Amino acid sequence: ETGVTQTPRHLVMGMTNKKSLKCEQHLGHNAMYWYKQSAKKPLELMFVYNFKEQTENNSVPSRFSPECPNSSHLFLHLHTLQPEDSALYLCASSQVLQGDTEAFFGQGTRLTVV
């Protein structure tokens, strides 16, 4: 496989459940990101990992917990979510360099909280 792969593609969970989203990148990048896309809203950056170290946490509620065990894998652990957390969750990766760069996105996980 190449690029950025996210699993699962779709997830329905109850508010008391615990689940995890997985992201894997095969591009040799050293930075990974979690984004949230809600209907009629811009993509919102949730977490940034550079060289496996979390460098950004944009005021995300603690019911979302990221984990980056190595530069190729990124997880988003979910627990006691709310219905308003239903959204498309996108993982992305990039190579942090001196100079402009772009990120490569996975296909996303469509999350529905019931």
Partner 1 sequence: DQQVKQNSPSLSVQEGRISILNCDYTNSMFDYFLWYKKYPAEGPTFLISISSIKDKNEDGRFTVFLNKSAKHLSLHIVPSQPGDSAVYFCAASPNSGGYQKVTFGIGTKLQVIP
- Cα separation, 15 vs 50, in Å, equals 31
Beta carbon nearer to partner 1, 40 or 59:
40
Name the residues that contact partner 1, by CB under 8 A: 4, 6, 31, 33, 40-43, 45, 48, 50, 55-56, 90, 92, 94, 96-108
Minimum CB distance to partner 1, residue 103 (Å) = 5
Tell the residue number behind the tokens 């979690």, with chain if given.
Answer: 34
Minimum CB distance to partner 1, residue 49 (Å) = 10
How is residue 96 written in tokens? 């942090």
- Cα separation, 9 vs 26, in Å, equals 18
Beta carbon nearer to partner 1, 5 or 80:
5
Minimum CB distance to partner 1, residue 33 (Å) = 7
Asked if residue 61 has a cis previous peptide bond (ω within 30° of 0), the answer is no
